[in-house]
Amino acid sequence: MTNILPGPVDSPLARMRVVLVRTSHPGNIGASARAMYTMGLARLVLVAPAKFPHAEALALATGAASVLEGAAVAATLAEALAGCALAIGLSARPRAFAGRVMSVREASREAIARTRDGEVALVFGTEMSGLSNEELAQCGIAATIPANPDYASLNLAAAVQVAAYELRIAAGEGDVWRAPRFARATHDDVESLYAHAERTLADMRFLDRKRPRLLMPRLRRLFGRAGLEREEVNVLRGILARVDELIGRTPR
C-alpha cells in the first residue's frame, strides 16, 4: 500500500505522522491538531473517527486549521501505517505487548533516529480505553508517559502535546527564545569600577582604609555573580561620580 499522506518530508519533524484511532470527540481531534502544530508537526491521520470533519474540531484547532485540512482519513490502522518505517504506540500499561516498551522521551529519540529510514508514526487510541492489544501489536515500540499511578488518565490532546514536545526536543528544535545579550564589561572596566568605588567609599568615610573589613570582597562577590555589562558599569561609575561631586571631590 502506498503512502496515504503526500507532501514534503525534508526534516525529521516533517517525517513524523500522528495517527489518532477511533477518536470519539471531534474537539479532541482539533485540540490534538493544535498540540501537534505548536511543536512543528503537521501530518495527521484519523482512523475511523466518530465525527470528522466537524465544527468543534475546527474551533479547538484555533490557528492549526491547516493540520485538520491536510488530515487523511483511513478505514483501518494498517492503512494509516502504510509506508512507515516505524510505528510507536502510546500506551499507559502495555501489558500484552511483545515488543520494546520505553518512556516517551526514549521513544522520541528512537523516532527521530528512524526518520532516516522513512516516516515514523505516533499512534494514539481512544479517549476511553487507548489502543487495543491488537492495535498496539501493529506497533514496533510501545511508549509510555510517566504519570501519577493513582490517576494516569491524560486527556488525548494533552498526551499528544507531551509526545510532540519530546519529539521537538529530540529533533534538536528545543531552543527557547533568549533575550538579546548586552556587551559584557571587560576585566579592566570592572577593575576600574572597583578602584573608583573604593576611593569614593573611603572619601565618604564609609570605608576605613585602615580597617577595611570585608566590604570590597563582598562587593566583588555580588557584582561578580551578576556578571556586569558594560552599560551597567557606566551607570555605577556615574553614580559614584555624582557622589564625588556632592562631597566636594573632583573625579580622579
Q: Which part of the chain contacts its own copies (CB under 8 A), choosing from 77-85, 108-116, 138-146, 197-205?
A: 138-146
Confirm or reject binding of residue 250 to its own copies (CB under 8 A): no
Q: Does 152 contact its own copies by CB under 8 A?
A: yes
In angstroms, the Cα distances linking 70 to 24, 210, 245 are 20, 78, 70
Give the DSSP H/E element, type plus range, for residue 121. Answer: strand 119-124
Q: Is 144 in the site for its own copies (CB under 8 A)?
A: yes
Q: Give 110's DSSP letter.
A: H
Q: Which of residues 113 and 147 has its CB atom nearest to its own copies in the complex?
A: 147
Collapsed DSSP state (helix, strand, coil) of residue 164:
helix
Does residue 101 interact with its own copies by CB under 8 A? yes
| Smallest distance, its own copies to C-beta of residue 102, A | 7
- Residue 235 amino acid letter: V
CA angle 32–34–38, rounded 5-degree value = 120
> CB 27 → its own copies: shortest distance, Å?
10
Return d(Cα 47, Cα 45) in angstroms, integer. 7
Query: Rounded to an integer, what distance in angstroms lies between the CA atom of residue 36 and that of residue 46?
Result: 14
Q: Residue 135 burial by CB count (10 A; 0-12/13-18/19+): exposed, middle or buried? A: buried
Binding piece for its own copies, criterion CB under 8 A, among 4-12, 108-116, 157-165, 203-211: 157-165
- The amino acid present at 175, given as its one-letter code, is D
Tell me, by CB under 8 A, how many residues bind its own copies: 43
Binding positions for its own copies, 42-71, rule CB under 8 A: 62-64
CB of 197 to its own copies, least distance (A): 22
Please tell me whether residue 39 binds its own copies under the rule CB under 8 A.
Answer: yes
Q: Strand 84-90 and strand 16-21: pairing?
A: unpaired
Could you say which of 51, 56, 165, 204 contacts its own copies (CB under 8 A)?
A: 165
Which residues bind to its own copies, rule: CB under 8 A?
31, 34-35, 37-40, 62-64, 92-95, 97, 101-103, 105, 144-148, 151-155, 157-158, 161-162, 165, 168-169, 173-179
